[in-house]
Structure 1
């Protein structure tokens, strides 16, 4: 059985995101949200689908930084989650 790997969002990840403009972060959040639906989707798939478009905006953004942004969207109430959201392949999100 595959062992889940927990993503660790570091202080460096958060510090990098703080250097980005609010407009860019809004675009990143919109891209992540656009890859969700009313059906449950694996967080890893949502991030993977958004990653190509995000890399056009900023090639330095990492999967863990995208996960951090997804946490913010979940906390805002726009998405529901199930499972440990720090383990991308073993958790899911959907629009609320």
Structure 2
């Protein structure tokens, strides 16, 4: 089941398909995902599921489980880096929110 559609939680470790996608995209592709996520995040709180959905559409990628999980992990990295702020459990995109960091 897709994280954007239900209450599932992101697996603790990337699955084989997600790892293959990240490898295929490479550093440039991953940076484009990060850029799309940031560009679709506002100053006000937004649901992570919406931000991910818009970033996937902007990047022209398909809505596979691997793509959604990879985008979710990229959101988590952007929060860890300080680019985004979050509230809620980021492993559950429908039940968490992000916004552009005020820093």
TM-score by length of 1: 0.82
Runs of 4+ in 1 over 3 A off after TM superposition: 58-61
Gaps of 5+ in 2: 1-5
Question: How many Å separate the matches in 1 of 2:97 and 2:15?
Answer: 24
TM-score by length of 2: 0.77
When the two structures are aligned, how many residues end up with a matched partner? 92
Gaps of 5+ in 1: none
- 1:79 is aligned to 2:80: no
- 1:10 is aligned to 2:14: yes
What's the RMSD between the two structures over aligned residues?
2.0
CA deviation string 1:29-50 (max 9, x = no partner): 1011100011000000000111
Question: How many Å separate the matches in 2 of 1:42 and 1:7?
Answer: 16
